[in-house]
Amino acid sequence: MAGLLEQILGGMVGGGLGRGSRGRMGGGRSAAMNGLLIALAAKAAQHYMRQRGGGGRSFDPGSAGGPGGGLPGGLGAGLPGGLGGLLGGLGGAGALGALLGQLRERGLGNEVDSWVRPGPNQPVPPQRLAEALGDETVDSLAAETGMPRQALLSELSQALPEAVDELTPEGREPTDDDLGRIGQA
């Protein structure tokens, strides 16, 4: 799973992922695709911080001083408002809600609801996730990360439930304010 998370965080910080063809945040992508990037970017940053000894939700990518935007090693440099600015630039809570709505509409309602509410997360097989996301979204993410489709889906089927779970600690979908405060708790 670390491969996908590293690709997402590195690509966003480097200006590749999360930017449309004209370099604008979220430009040219569906709200569901941006929601997917939001969930994975937050998960990637949390994963990075845990590996560096920063704990689970203890990082504050948007408010820590210095050029890194709160992420060690300057990872947040160049992101207006750090990770919180990135998440907002991708459409914030509306984009995340669009992703979760699409997954529910396409047959993953029970799984998504388990990710949002407290308790165990129901798994989702890679093929079911691919069907719910749609070929265009999966192919686009595979192209942007450089990962083979099957490897991407395998990692995504593990990372997405965890990411949504971590973004919904109160058992509800986050608001834009919640996303802006990621890691301050």
SS3 for 19-50 is ECCCCCECCCCCHHHHHHHHHHHHHHHHHHHH
Q: Which of 2-6, 107-111, 162-166 has the lowest mean pLDDT?
A: 2-6
Domain for residue 66, yes or no? yes
Is residue 1's pLDDT more than 80? no
Backbone angles phi, psi at 19, to 5 degrees: -115, 140
Q: Can you read off the two tokens belonging to residue 64? A: 């820590």
Whether the full predicted model's pTM is greater than 0.85, yes or no, is no
Domain for residue 8, yes or no? yes
Is residue 165's pLDDT more than 90? yes
CA distances from 48 to 82, 131, 153 (A): 15, 29, 21
What one-letter code names the amino acid at 180? G
Domain for residue 30, yes or no? yes
Domain for residue 124, yes or no? yes
- Here the CATH number for the domain that contains residue 164 is 1.10.10.690
H helix intervals, the chain: 2-13, 31-51, 82-89, 92-103, 109-116, 126-133, 135-145, 149-167, 176-180
Residue 163: what pLDDT? 92
Domain for residue 28, yes or no? yes
Read off the pLDDT of each residue in 34-63 and give the average, rounded to a whole number.
Answer: 66
Residue 100: what pLDDT? 96
Domain for residue 185, yes or no? no
> CA–CA separation, 103 vs 175, rounded Å?
19
Residue 44: what pLDDT? 79
What percent of the chain has pLDDT above 70?
Answer: 62
**Domain encompassing residue 140:** 2-180
What percent of the chain has pLDDT above 90?
Answer: 35
pLDDT in tens, 10-39: 665 555 554 443 343 445 678 888 889 888
Domain for residue 68, yes or no? yes
How many domains, in total, are found in the chain? 1
